[in-house]
């Protein structure tokens, strides 16, 4: 039986589907998905959404996830938590789930800040859905390889 990776999507705007989030942030007409195209995130991952980092932490406590996708607020969230602190908190969770950050395109310092905070990677939005899927799949594969190495030692 094939394992459908579980993705925890933490978003402040609570989209009704992954397509809406990517399309809302796309400024280039070539980036959005066609209305009738299958959503690659929903096709390849079992997606659960939460509206805050706190809800995300509770979800990580309650269930197994293969990857966390966190949409970074512009600077500070409603709870007053800076996105870098949120990434650090999620990355430090005992579940050890890789955190992929979605953030509006900025300068290269955002990418470095995300990695220093413990993120697996940062994807600048707008982005092509296939690029986002590739990063999430890579995070899942890396976690699986690390887990296999730990079992063998």
For every one of its 153 residues, what pLDDT tens digit does the chain have, with 9 covering 90 and above? 457 899 999 986 544 444 455 555 444 444 444 555 667 788 889 999 998 889 999 999 999 999 999 987 655 555 556 888 889 999 999 999 999 998 887 767 778 888 899 999 999 888 888 899 999 999 999 987 765 555 555
Position 121 scores a pLDDT of 93
d(CA 24, CA 54): 24
In the prediction, which pLDDT does 139 show?
94
Chain centroid to Cα 28, Å, comes to 22
**103, containing H or E segment:** strand 99-104
What integer pLDDT is reported at residue 43 of this predicted model? 82
H helix count then E strand count, the chain: 6, 5
List phi, psi (to 5°) of 50. Answer: -130, 160
Instruction: Centre a 10 Å sphere on the Cβ of residue 119 and count the other Cβ atoms it contains.
Output: 26
Quote the pLDDT of residue 65.
Answer: 95
């Amino acid at each position: 039986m094939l394992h459908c990776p579980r993705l925890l999507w933490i978003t402040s705007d609570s989209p009704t589907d992954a397509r809406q989030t990517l399309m809302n942030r796309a400024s280039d007409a070539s980036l959005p998905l066609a209305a009738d195209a299958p959503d690659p995130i929903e096709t390849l991952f079992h997606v659960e959404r939460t509206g805050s980092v706190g809800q995300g932490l509770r979800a990580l406590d309650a269930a197994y996830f293969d990857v966390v996708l966190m949409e970074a607020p512009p600077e500070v969230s409603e709870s007053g938590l800076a996105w870098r602190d949120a990434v650090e908190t999620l990355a430090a969770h005992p579940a050890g789930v890789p955190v992929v950050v979605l953030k509006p395109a900025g300068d290269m310092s955002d990418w470095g800040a995300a990695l220093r905070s413990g993120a697996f990677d940062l994807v600048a939005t707008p982005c092509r859905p296939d690029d986002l899927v590739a990063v999430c799949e890579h995070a899942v594969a890396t976690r699986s390889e690390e887990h296999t190495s730990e079992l063998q030692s």
